Amino acid sequence: MVDSYLDIMYKRLPSRDYRSDDPGFASLSISLDPLIEVPIASPPWHLSFPHVSVALLAAVLFGYHMGVVNAPLQAISEDLGFSGNALAQGWVVSTCLFGAFFGCATSGSIADTFGRRRAFQLSTVPMLLGACISASASNLNSMILGRLLVGVGLGISGPVTALYVTEISPTAVRGTFGSLAQIANCIGILGALVMGLPVATIPGWWRKCFWIATMPAALLAIGMEFCSESPRWLFKSSRLADAEHEIERLWGAAYVKCALSELIRGEKHEEDEPATFADLLSDRYRKASRDQCCILLFIYGIQKCRNNFRFGGQRFCWCSQPPRIHHSCMPYG
pLDDT interval class at 27 (50, 70, 90)? very low
Q: Does residue 307 register a pLDDT over 90?
A: no
- Given this model, what pLDDT does residue 84 score? 87
Cβ-in-10-Å burial (0-12, 13-18, 19+) of 331 comes to: middle
Q: DSSP label at 40?
A: -
Number of domains in the chain: 1
> For residues 277 and 317, which has the higher predicted lDDT (pLDDT)?
277
Given a cut of 50, whether residue 24 has pLDDT beyond it is no
Cα–Cα distance, 47 to 256 (Å, whole number): 14
Mean pLDDT value across the chain:
80
Q: Write down the pLDDT at residue 19.
A: 42
pLDDT the model gives residue 131 = 97
Residue 61 lies in a domain: yes
CATH of the domain at 120: 1.20.1250.20
Within a domain: 242:
no
Domain-embedded: residue 93 = yes
* pLDDT > 50? residue 330: no
Percentage, residues of the chain above pLDDT 90: 59
Q: Please enumerate, as own/partner, the contacts of 265-269 that have beta carbons within 8 Å and a separation of 24 or more.
A: 265/34, 266/232, 267/235, 267/236, 268/5, 268/34
Neighbour count for residue 268 (Cβ, 10 Å): 16
The shares of helix, strand and coil residues in the chain, as percent rounded to the nearest 5, are: 75, 0, 25
Residue 266: its pLDDT value, please?
75
More confident residue, 4 or 127: 127
- Please compute the mean of the pLDDT values over residues 1-18 and round it to a whole number: 43
Interval 147-174 mean pLDDT: 95
Question: What's residue 265's pLDDT?
Answer: 82
107, 160 contact by CB (below 8 A): yes
pLDDT band with cut points at 50, 70 and 90 for residue 136: very high
Q: Is residue 29 part of a domain?
A: no
Is pLDDT at 40 greater than 50 in this prediction? yes
Contacts of 121 (CB under 8 A, 6+ apart): 220, 221, 224, 225
Residue 102 has pLDDT above 90, yes or no: yes
197: left (phi over 0), alpha (psi -120 to 50) or beta: alpha
Domain annotation covers residue 25: no
The answer to whether residue 124 scores a pLDDT higher than 60 is yes
* 326 vs 185, higher pLDDT: 185
- Residue 251's Cβ-count burial label (10 Å; 0-12, 13-18, 19+) is buried
Q: Check pLDDT > 50 for residue 187.
A: yes
Cα 124 from Cα 109, distance rounded (Å)? 17
Q: Residue 243 domain-assigned?
A: no
Please compute the mean of the pLDDT values over residues 53-68 and round it to a whole number: 96
- The answer on pLDDT for 270 being more than 90 is no
Q: What is the pLDDT of residue 294?
A: 74
Range of the domain at 167: 49-227
Per-residue model confidence (pLDDT) at position 316: 47
Beta strands in 36-108, from DSSP E residues, in sequence order = none
The CA-to-CA distance between both ends of the chain, in Å, stands at 59
At residue 87, does pLDDT exceed 90? yes
The larger pLDDT score, comparing residue 274 to residue 236, is at 236
Asked if 20 and 13 touch (Cβ cutoff 8 Å), the reply is: yes
Stated as kind and residue range, the H or E segment containing 31 is: none
Q: Cα torsion at 140, 146, 149, 154 (round to 10°)?
A: -110
Q: DSSP per residue over 279-327, as a string?
A: GGGSTTTHHHHHHHHHHHHHHHHHHGGGHHHHHHHHHHHHTT--HHHHH
Average pLDDT estimate for 169-178: 91
CB 133 within 8 A of CB 145: yes
Whether 223 is covered by a domain: the verdict is yes
What is the mean pLDDT of the segment spanning 34-61? 82
Mean pLDDT of 153-181: 94
The full DSSP string for 161-172 is HHHHHHHHS-GG
pLDDT band at 13; cut points 50, 70, 90 = very low
* 238 within some domain: no
CA neighbor of 48 nearest in space, from 239, 234, 237, 177: 177
Confidence class of residue 89 from pLDDT cuts 50, 70 and 90?
very high
